[in-house]
Amino acid sequence: METNFDCIVIGAGPAGLSAALNLRQRGKTVLVVHSGETLLAKAEQVDNYLGMPGLSGKQMMERFTQHARDAGAVLRKGRAGNVMPFGGRFMVNLDGDILETGAVVLACGVSKAKPVPGEAELLGRGVSYCATCDGMLYRGRAVAVWGLSPEAPQEANFLHGIGCSVTYIAGRRPDTLEAGVAFRAGRVEAVEGGAAVEAVRVGGAALPVQGVFILRAATPPDALVPGLALENGFVKTDAAMRTNIPGLFAAGDMTGKPLQVANAVGDGLVAALAAVDYLDGVSPMTD
């Protein structure tokens, strides 16, 4: 697969696909990575998007996806584990593959979850959000997978396959979980440890582990990009959807209210235009 793209867009919801379409229309090559279904696919009917009344969220997403594909955007399923700026360019860790690109648009949707106690403190020291990115570090060790996204059982099976001793934590045991993966009903209430993770607390009891993979549908933005500035839990952007990191743009629900399709699509356009200027070396206009 082609790995050299002018821009990588993370997220294939309305914001990410709008950014991808508009980058393509200005001649840039684009990879859109997405870890699963968007929120919109869950909407029974969307009646407030101009010109398309009566469509289900799924039908709307099919149209958006087809439009971006027809324009030449390349879509790839996978989870972006982290985005590392270097010298004005970026490295994106996609399921363990490192892709280099000139600009990044974050369009990951909203992460509604509040971090559990110990999660932020032990991030990168046993707490991870991406099994395929970080799994190899835990080969031969005991790890917990807190399954909060539809793809979590697959990621737990992957960890089991590479030799981790895995306990899957969720409300019920998923049918697709391999027999060798242990199961604990409940939720992670806290992550415990000193220099590194030592245990997770489930149902009030400590489960000793050296790593915990917290697999939510959306990754907290500042976990994805270290040093990313937030405001009230949303990614802070200026009017051109620029973040505090040059070359990194954000769009859609992750940048704040209104959490609506029309806003996400508009943000995607603005982020794409700013990304094109960045890639072309045009100095940013003052807002």
Residues in contact with ligand FAD by CB under 6 A are: 10-16, 33-36, 38-40, 42-43, 46, 48-49, 79-80, 107-109, 218-219, 224, 252-253, 259-262, 264
Least CB distance from residue 81 to ligand FAD, whole Å?
7
Least CB distance from residue 13 to ligand FAD, whole Å?
2
Q: Decide whether 152 or 199 has the Cβ nearer to ligand FAD.
A: 152
Least CB distance from residue 16 to ligand FAD, whole Å?
5
CB 77 within 8 A of CB 34: yes
**Rounded Cα gap, residues 15 and 112, in angstroms:** 17
Least CB distance from residue 255 to ligand FAD, whole Å?
8
Q: Decide whether 38 or 207 has the Cβ nearer to ligand FAD.
A: 38
Using alpha carbons, select from 187, 223, 194 the residue that is nearest to residue 210. 194
Q: Decide whether 49 or 183 has the Cβ nearer to ligand FAD.
A: 49
Least CB distance from residue 140 to ligand FAD, whole Å?
26
Q: Decide whether 39 or 166 has the Cβ nearer to ligand FAD.
A: 39
Burial of 34 (0-12, 13-18, 19+ CB in 10 A): buried
- CA–chain centroid gap for 207, Å, is 27
Return the amino acid letter for 218: A
CB 1 within 8 A of CB 77: no
- For 3, the token pair is 């790995």
